[in-house]
Structure 1
Amino acid sequence: MAEFIQALDPSKLVLLETGLSFLTSAFEAPVYNLPIFLFGLLSQESNEAVQSLRAFTFLAGGSIIYDIIWMARHDQHWFIRVLTIFIQILKIPTVLAFAAALRQRGGQFSGLSFSGNDIGGATVWSMPGGFTSGGREGYQSVEDPIATPTPKPALHTPATAPPPPPPNAPGAYQSV
C-alpha cells in the first residue's frame, strides 16, 4: 500500500479534481471543492511551502466529511451526483499522496503544539520601526529618550527686539 501511495502523482490528482470541481460548479454541487483544489494546485507548486501543503491536506481530508453531509442535504442530477461521489473518492488517495509529499519535504502533522511563546516555530521576522528592546539598524527603540536638538542663537539681532512670530502652518486655524 505504501508503494502505491508513493507512486501517486499529487499534482495530477489535484489537477484532475480541480477540473472535475470546475465542471460541477455550474450545477448543484459543493461550492467549497473548487477553491480547495485551486489552493491545492498552488500549494503543491512550491517546494518550500510546507505550511500551505499541510493546510491543504487538512482541508481536503476534512472536506470528505462535508461532502457526505452536503450530499445528504441536497438533491442533485444523477450525473452531477456521480461526479461528486467520484471527486469524494479521489480525495482519499489525494490526501494520502499529499501527506507522503509533506513527509518527504520535512513537514509533519504533529507540529501543532504550543511551547512557551513559540507558536509553530522560530520567529524569522522582527517588528519594523525598531519596536524591540535593543533597537536595530538606525531605528530608535521605544525605551531610548528622544534626542532634541539644541537651538542656535540668532546672529545680529538686537537684544530688545521681540522674537519673530512662528510661521503659520498651512490649513491651521488662526485667531483674529
Structure 2
Amino acid sequence: YPLFEYFENWCQDENRHGDFFTAILKSRPEMINDWQAKLWSRFFCLSVYITMYLNDHQRSAFYESLGLNTTQFNQHVIIETNKSTARIFPEVPDHENPEFFKKLDYLVELNTKVINIGRMQVPGFVKAVLRAPLIERMVAEVFQLFIMTPIRAGSVDMEAELRAQTVY
C-alpha cells in the first residue's frame, strides 16, 4: 500500500529526533540530574502514555480492524517507549507495577462514561453534574500514577573530555 512507502522514513526520522534529543541532554547533565527533572520526566511520560491510551481506546475499532487488540498494542507501545525514555530520563513510570495498567484501564472505563454522558440529550448543567465525580476520580487516578514509585533510570555516560564545549 502506498502509505507504507513513507513509514520507514518516518520511523527513521523519529529515531533521529530521539537520538538528537538524547545527545543534547547527555551533553548537559545539569538539565537531567535534579529533582525537577525527575518530576518533569515522569509527568511527560505519563502525559504521553495516558493520552495515547485513552485516545486509542476511543478508536479501538480501527486497531481491531487491523487484527490488533487495542489494550495489548498500547501496553506494548508503552513498555517499549518506557525502555527508550529510560535511557536518558532520570525517572520513568514503573509499568511493571501491577497497579500501573490496572489504573490505565480504569481511566479508559471512566473516560468512556464521560464521553457517553456528553452524548446524552440533557441540558449542559446536568452533564456537568454527572461528569464531575467521574472527572474527580480520573484526576485522583492520574495523581496516584504520578506518585507511584518510579523506575530510577537515565544515563549520563559521556566522559568529561568528550562533552560538548562552547566554541567562540
TM-score by length of 2: 0.30
TM-score by length of 1: 0.29
Structure with more helix by fraction: 2
The one of the two structures with greater contact order (alpha-carbon pairs below 8 A, sep at least 6) is 2
